[in-house]
Amino acid sequence: MKIKAFFDEFSKQYEDQNRNKYLFYRLLADNVVKQLNREKFLMLDMGTGNGEIAIRTALKFPRANIIGIDISSGMITAAEERVRRLGIDNVKFIVSPMQNLKIESVDFVVSHLAFHHVRNKLPVTRRFYRILTRKGRLIIGDAFKPAREDKKEIERLRARNPTLSKKLDESLHDFQSGQSREYQEKHPKEYFISQTELKTIMKKAGFSKQRIIKMPLAAFAVVVGEK
């Protein structure tokens, strides 16, 4: 099932899931927003879904302007409804695939749990690089494929934070258990890479600095590239 059709069909279910109730989801989103190092900026939220990151950013940075982009009109409708309910005026949403990006200049490009849907990641990353201003950042919080080079550091993080690690494991299990069978069966193909592979892609795309913010949950991290 194609990505657009899937998220159009399941946009209502996605909204009803209230992913903010899951600790792993909140922690990943928090780590994404923490990488925004200015007060006034223009940000693209790629694969915005129901607008979670765009809305978080708008509330925390009232002087910023945020554009949320998603391929699914159903998800954009849900995001626009949330913005209306909250009375937020510094966010707008556009229905568009990442690959057809037509924005010329932004300070931040953010993607939260969406980049794994992109099959050819290097060309898209290069496009992000081109539209970023000087010292601009690409911030990708996502699910990743486990890699040997990341294992030891994640094990150290878990050893230092055993209570948090247990709660994160439980929240991920609860989230996975809460998805309907139809949702799981129809979910489009995902293209997972490791955290280190994404860091390498950012370097190839031209980013002068790349770093990984790891979590005590092996499947999730935030990877940042700075122009």
User: What per-residue confidence (pLDDT) applies to 147?
Assistant: 86
For residue 124, count other CB atoms closer than 10 A to its CB: 20
Mean pLDDT in residue range 35-54: 95
pLDDT in tens, 109-132: 999 999 999 999 999 999 999 999
Domain boundaries, the chain: 3-226
* pLDDT at position 122: 96
CA 105 to CA 93: how far, in whole Å? 17
Render pLDDT for 67-112 as a digit per residue (tens, 0 to 9). Answer: 999 988 888 998 999 999 999 999 999 998 877 777 889 999 999 9
For residue 14, what pLDDT band results from cuts at 50, 70 and 90?
Answer: low
Q: How many CA atoms lie within 13 A of 49 on its CB side?
A: 19
- DSSP 3-state of 147: coil
Strand order in the sheet with 106-112: 91-95, 65-70, 42-46, 106-112, 132-143, 220-226, 209-214
Inform me whether the pLDDT recorded for 10 exceeds 80. Answer: no
- pLDDT given for residue 12 in this prediction: 66
Under 8 Å between Cβ of 187 and 7: no
Find the Cα–Cα–Cα–Cα dihedral 76, 198, 140, 74, rounded to 10°.
Answer: 10
Provide mean pLDDT across the span 5-23.
72
Task: Please check the confidence at residue 65 and state whether its pLDDT lies above 90.
Answer: yes
Tokens for 48? 């915005």
The CATH class given to the 3-226 domain equals alpha beta
**The pLDDT of residue 35:** 97
Task: Report if pTM > 0.85.
Answer: yes
Q: 138-188, pLDDT tens digit by residue?
A: 999 999 998 888 888 999 999 999 999 999 999 999 988 887 787 777 777
Write the burial class of residue 39 (CB in 10 Å: 0-12 exposed, 13-18 middle, 19+ buried): exposed
- Tally of residues, the chain: 227
- Written as one letter, the residue type at 196 is T
Count of CB atoms within 10 A of residue 94's CB? 14
Cα separation, 206 vs 212, in Å, equals 17
